[in-house]
Structure 1
């Protein structure tokens, strides 16, 4: 069933009167006929109430509490506001008319306004969603850059100095499991850490793991320690170091 407010021929008498008033005035305008003051308002009340003289009784349709005393001296303001309301098809609702005075005459305006507000809210939500996604992407890029820097720095450490790397990056925002993962990948290259068992260290704090690594490095054979030092890519080979290395590893 079609709602009354959406029927092709308005069933509400006031809405039908408004449509008739608009049609009548527009026909007169098209013919170039002279129009009296407030033509839309006067035509509306003529079709709606069947009267040519507009009194407080007619205006009570828009403002039920309006009294004759309150109307005295302000009738033109009321008629001008009603005339504008009907001419604009409910878009312009000025004082002294109360807010929403034209809802029954032009229910489509309220629908349009609600749709406009809904669409504005959707656009606002989309804007904040885009900003949120942008912030998350930026945060992720910053985090990944930090993690990459930490892993690069780790490559320049030996088991003897890895504790300083752990202290440097703990508490910087990198997750501890990320640091642990870097450490265990890094530890595979060093012979002195071969006995360091990841399963045994599971559940231990990360500082303890790096402490154990440094302890194993201190207990390792001098040749192993020297080898591990040369495994770190922060050496510029000079002649003396080169001969020292050849003596240890012929």
Structure 2
């Protein structure tokens, strides 16, 4: 990633360099083979933690395995339009899918048991360090993509998709409205009606999705993470003039 000199403005508000996350976390090779070799056990662990899963497309070279010409989200979408009802934590069903579709990625449907706060990779790494240093409980965290500006960090939390007070529901459409993106730049909140890839997953270009913190960590309330994540995203959005604030990180449907 380089030393970051001159890349960001407002560096006086950043944490000291020596307190950053270990460099292995930021620069480790993007080889997903170790996770791929444990694919089925990792999927079962995610389901065992309550994350409902369903099969998804997978990369074929730089294309998608689906039959859609020019697929806009290659290897990042479910294979069935019925993914919301198909998603399950049933161990036997997931084993059948994993063994019968050995190349398939899997998505987890959000808003049932869990939500996902989805942020730019570097902003997320800064926020993760700050949260851990403050002793705030952080649940499972996954890294998606690479370090070339498209990487994302996914914070898995308990769901707020069906609160008693519907006025509290913050829908995943948040990431589609420019007027809200100015207030919450770079942040996508996946809840009811959305999904994300669950590790291990493969993306075009030898990229992937893998766990930074596994599904054995309890799901926190998203509001305990939101302020730190929003602050980190706002600072990184100001630093990176090329950040596309309006492009959704994950599609809402096929």
Indicate whether the TM-score tops 0.5.
Answer: no
Shorter-chain TM-score range:
under 0.3
- Structure exhibiting the larger radius of gyration computed from Cα positions: 1
Under a length normalisation based on structure 2, what TM-score does the superposition of the two structures give? 0.17
**Richer in helix (by share):** 1
Under a length normalisation based on structure 1, what TM-score does the superposition of the two structures give? 0.18
